[in-house]
Amino acid sequence: MAPTPETLLPSVVEATAKATAATIEKIGYTNLTLQPEDPIFKLLGECMSDSDPHKINLSVGAYRDEQGRPWVLPVVQKAKAVLLNDPAANHEYFGLDGNKSFNEASARLILGDGSPALREKRYTAVQTVSGTGANRLGSDFLAKFRPGTVYITNPTWGNHPKIFSASGLRVIEYQYWNANTRSINFDILLDTLQTAEQGSIFVLHACAHNPTGLDPTHDQWKQIAQIMKEKDHFPFFDCAYQGFASGDLDVDVWAVRYFVSQGFDLLCAQSFSKNFGLYSERAGCLTGVFLDGQVAKMVHSQLCALVRCSISNAPAFGAKVVDLVLKDQALTEEWKENLKTMASRITSMRAKVLSHLTQLETPGNWSHITSQIGMFSYTGLTVSQVAAIKTKFHVYMTDEGRISMAGLNESNVEQFARAVDWVVRNA
């Protein structure tokens, strides 16, 4: 086994550090340090190396079936078989904007078949490396052509602040989660919208807010849109869970379509990792809607220019799977049933967690478990309770108490609830 800094003598560690510093200075590197490991992947690594047979992995946002296994959607299996048996299939490049048929299908999915933006050709859609790539492409575009301070929720998906900061944009967080009520800090959200500099950029979670699982109501979305309109703020939607959150493709993107109906120019990052289970295939799209069709064309050209000097060409296979399903009515209907299967299982796990905690008379109010939606639940456990549940019960979740509901099933949900009950009482 290779030695680690912890196993080396202090004198050896010091000598090694001096040699490394001398090399850095000689080569001319500046500000070069060892980057800390990503906390999610670090946590996953800890879980994978844990030999306890009863461990529960609630760390990574990937769907698991009732047996705790990755689930390849049946409709995806069918689409893959069609593609792999197509004698005309090849591995040629797409254009800079990717698979055009996939892009059109993605835009139609998020905006709706009857969207005036589609009919009037006031939209653009560019294939990306999943939702992460869509966020980065949109961020780079805004930094270059429509800069402004970016407001993101606290908490949010861990990549949001990194992506927008990496594009050179100033990022400000506002407190979205109310730890006392375990609900949205809606007054703070409205105040942030009102006090933000005119023309700021707001990153909005289209549905199933990550990590809290708390979404504004329709009336609250209307209030958000009204203030954003008055302040000329730019909406940047991140949509990673369409159809996966509620099981209904239209319900989950109500907010996006409402903002379009109110005449906003906006961008929306779409991911097909969760709702198609295509995690490693990196299928995504950046869709934009604009008041002017000529502006849409200009934006499209500039997005393609940004693609050319970053990824040059998006990966093909996942996009082909999605495209095939979305343009075949029978496959689309089957996909909708697959979505309901995933969404309903997660909803069932939420209900069972609440039921067990209620039976155990666990201190506190746990109704937020079922009022939240989507893959994640923000439990409200403290950092010390999270540490205790990992050490004593081998339950793995992020330090802020976020769990992936998909990691629960009939065989471990009571075990999880009992672990929560213990740490709430004792840690």
Least Cα distance to 318 among 68, 131, 63, 113 occurs for 131
**Helix (H) or strand (E) segment spanning residue 235:** strand 234-239
- CA 206 – CA 238 distance, rounded (Å): 6
Least Cα distance to 252 among 192, 321, 293, 205 occurs for 205
E strand intervals along 254-401: 266-271, 283-289, 376-378, 395-396
Q: How many whole angstroms from its chain centre is CA 226?
A: 26
Residue 274: active-site member: yes
Of 71, 78, 215, 274, catalytic: 274
295-314 burial string, b = 16+ CB within 10 Å, else e? ebeebbeebeebbeeebeeb
> Helix %, strand %, coil % for the chain, to 5?
50, 15, 35
Residue 157: active-site member: yes
What is the sign, positive or negative, of the torsion defined by CA atoms of 147, 154, 272, 248? Answer: negative
3-class secondary structure, 255: helix
3-class secondary structure, 195: helix
For the chain, give me the number of helices (H) and strands (E)?
17, 13
- CA 156 – CA 141 distance, rounded (Å): 21
Question: Which tokens belong to 211?
Answer: 């990590």
Of 215, 238, 252, 323, catalytic: 238
Q: How many whole angstroms from its chain centre is CA 271?
A: 8
Q: Count other Cβ atoms within 10 Å, centred on residue 325.
A: 24
Of 78, 97, 157, 366, catalytic: 157
Least Cα distance to 255 among 203, 330, 307 occurs for 203
By the 8 A CB rule, do 397 and 48 touch?
Answer: no
Backbone angles phi, psi at 190, to 5 degrees: -65, -40
CA 177 → CA 154, 214, 372, 403, distances in Å? 7, 9, 12, 15
Active site residues: 157, 238, 274
